[in-house]
Structure 1
Amino acid sequence: MSNPYLDAPLRARMYAKTWHKLVWVSAVVLSAGLLAPPLFFIAAKKRVVPMTVPALYAAATYGTAVLGDALGNGGNWVGGILALTLITAAAHAAILDTDWKTGR
């Protein structure tokens, strides 16, 4: 009898060491979320997340900036959306390898 958890394909780790995670999360925060799509694109290439995740982050980050420039920023809504995207991306980047176990 096969077990889907034991027979699951191997998956690459997103971060090799703890300081790699620190560098990536710091880069996402310090770039105000602009480096979130490349981080999640790398994660998608390693098959840690589906390819839709970097596309959604790119649409939220870059699309909001372009749309805010085109429509105007009357109520400062662009800053709010970008701040929420930044917080979400930083938290998501920090928990990417939480289910990875040694020996899998």
Structure 2
Amino acid sequence: MYAKTLHKVIWVVAVVASLGLLAPPLFFVAAKKRVVSMAVPVIYAVIIYGSAMAATVLGNPKNWEGGVLTITMIVAAVHAAILDTDWKPGR
């Protein structure tokens, strides 16, 4: 998936720094390269963007949105870090 180790570090840091908001684009690129299924970026997008919109509509009295986004960000960062490092173009 990544051409160099630096690319992996940049993507993992970007996912963490954006609090998971950049996870769906990262996994969309991985899906286009056939490293993961196209369902993966869709699931991340639904969880991340859907929880933010639901918190706006339903309210967020106990800060449940922060917990959901934090857990999703951690899972996405770990998932981004363990993506196929032996990926070759045209695979």
Specify the TM-score bucket, using the shorter chain as the normaliser: over 0.9
Query: Residue 44 of structure 1 corresponds to which residue in structure 2?
Result: 31
2:8 to 21, 27, 47: 21
Greater relative contact order, per chain length (Cα 8 Å cut-off, separation 6+)? 2
Cα RMSD after superposing both structures: 1.5
Cα distance change on mapping 1:55 and 1:73 into 2, 3 Å: same
**Aligned equivalents of 2:37, 2:75: Cα separation in 1:** 17
Structure 2, unaligned runs of 5 or more: none
1:83 to 67, 70, 77: 70
Structure 1, unaligned runs of 5 or more: 1-13
Count of residues in Structure 1 that have an aligned counterpart in Structure 2: 89
TM-score by length of 2: 0.93
1:61 aligns with 2:56: no
TM-score by length of 1: 0.82
Q: Which has the higher helix share?
A: 2
Larger Rg: 1
**% identical equivalent positions:** 64
**Aligned equivalents of 2:37, 2:20: Cα separation in 1:** 19
* AA matched with 2:82: I
**Which deviations, in whole Å up to 9, do the C-alpha atoms of 1:69-94 show, x marking residues without a partner?**
00000111000000000000000000
Q: Moved runs in structure 1, 4+ residues, more than 6 A?
A: none
